[in-house]
Amino acid sequence: MNRTYRILILSFSPIARDPRVMRQVRLLESRYKVTVAGFGQKPDADIEFIDASGRPARLLIKAKWAFKLLLGLFESYYWERSEVKSALEALRRRKFDLVIANDIATLPLAARLAGERPVLMDAHEYSPLEFEDRWLWRLLFGRLHHYLCLRYLPQAAAMVTVCQGIADEYARHYAVTPKVVQNAPAHQYLRPSKAEPGRIRMVHHGAAIRSRHLETMVDLMQHLDDRFSLDFLLVGNDLAYLNELRTRAGSDPRIRFLAPVPMPDICKTLNMYDIGIFLLPPVNFNYKHALPNKFFEFIQARLAVAIGPSPEMAKLVKAFGFGLVAESFEPADLAALLSNTSEADLVQYKLAADVAASSLNYETSGETLLALIESLLLH
């Protein structure tokens, strides 16, 4: 530990609600002098916080930005973004020993602020194909992200990302060698909850994003008997989509939509269930290679895990034996596996999750990030 080193963490996200960024904060706050620039309220942490929220853009400004993106004027567009200008104004006279850039959106800014000091790039996703299933995003932002990767990734002294499939894709297209730091939370000191005879309690939590097709999990219940129940704990601003999900669930008393819980309470809340479920059709590259926070939170909550054939998740489910992997993303296929799951099977899956929790946690993943940071500070 050396509290004299100054580290800047940049993320254009609500910091207190961004699990991956908050894990960086927790890892570093007691070791170094940490400044965090991002959106929202200052998190409860021993850091300096700078609110980089920009002003909402008027329609005319958005039209100008779209025109610049269409013309390929990517640098002009980037440096006009209000959050970039806000962070640059607040930080341009400051000196840091290391800058951590979260996502490609902060990397050009990080490179400018770092000067001759190193930049560590944390690519949460594969940004050039982040929303490739949306044609307008491909036209405007897909090209922008490819340009930013091409120009600025070589300026990063080191790079990490969330899984091997995404790391391999960055290596293939941009000649970089990212290390993998999984989206696992800190180790939770929990035990598997006891099963209730005749009941199998399933849960899904996270963001209510339309492209995730959460309705597949609603439809799953049509193929399951009355032993099964499913609770959704969803966050997000798409109220229309949430209402569509509720309407699709109809009057089925086995499906409930409950209020989400604060991030520190997620695993403890999930622990009362039996199965964490996530059917994620691979409508874009990042969904195909998803290895998300919720997957590791299921494990830390000591739940059985039921998923479709998402390769990164399936690899770990099979390696540790803590759940079920369907052959397709069709609800009926996963339902068939669930229907044949006995109470004894559930006990074994949850015990396997308990074993996996001792290694699939941030105490393990964070070691990779901390070693990388320490090596960059010493050069």
- pLDDT tens by residue, 188-199: 999 999 988 899
Mean pLDDT over 92-107 rounds to 97
Q: What's the half-sphere exposure (Cβ side, CA atoms, 13 Å) at 294?
A: 21
1-43 residue pLDDT tens: 566 899 999 999 999 999 999 999 999 999 999 999 999 999 9
| CA dist 345 → 195, 227, 304, 337, 338 (Å) | 11, 15, 9, 11, 10
DSSP state of 120: E
Mean pLDDT over 138-157 rounds to 96
State the pLDDT at residue 65. 86
Burial of 168 (0-12, 13-18, 19+ CB in 10 A): middle
Q: What are phi and psi of 101, to 5 degrees?
A: -100, 120
State the pLDDT at residue 60. 86
Mean pLDDT over 116-130 rounds to 96
Q: Model pTM? A: 0.93
Which CATH number does 6-184+362-377 carry?
Answer: 3.40.50.2000
Q: Which helix (H) or strand (E) holds 68?
A: helix 59-71
- Beta-carbon contacts of 334 under 8 Å, excluding residues fewer than 6 positions away, are 220, 277, 279, 306, 307, 308, 324, 326
What are the residue ranges of CATH 3.40.50.2000 in the chain? 6-184+362-377, 200-357
333-355 residue pLDDT tens: 999 999 999 999 999 999 999 99
Q: Could you say which architecture CATH assigns to the domain 200-357?
A: 3-Layer(aba) Sandwich (3.40)
DSSP state of 256: E
Copy the structure tokens of residue 212. 């995730």
User: What is the C-alpha separation between 149 and 68, in angstroms, rounded?
Assistant: 18
The full length of the chain comes to: 379
State the pLDDT at residue 336. 98
State the pLDDT at residue 243. 95
Please tell me which residue, 363 or 3, carries the higher pLDDT value.
Answer: 363
User: How many CB atoms are located within 10 Å of the residue 4 CB?
Assistant: 7
| CA dist 157 → 9, 25, 182, 197 (Å) | 15, 20, 20, 55
The mean pLDDT value of the chain amounts to 95
236-273 residue pLDDT tens: 879 999 999 999 999 899 999 999 999 999 999 999 99
47-94 residue pLDDT tens: 999 999 977 778 888 889 899 999 999 999 999 999 999 999 999 999
State the pLDDT at residue 2. 65
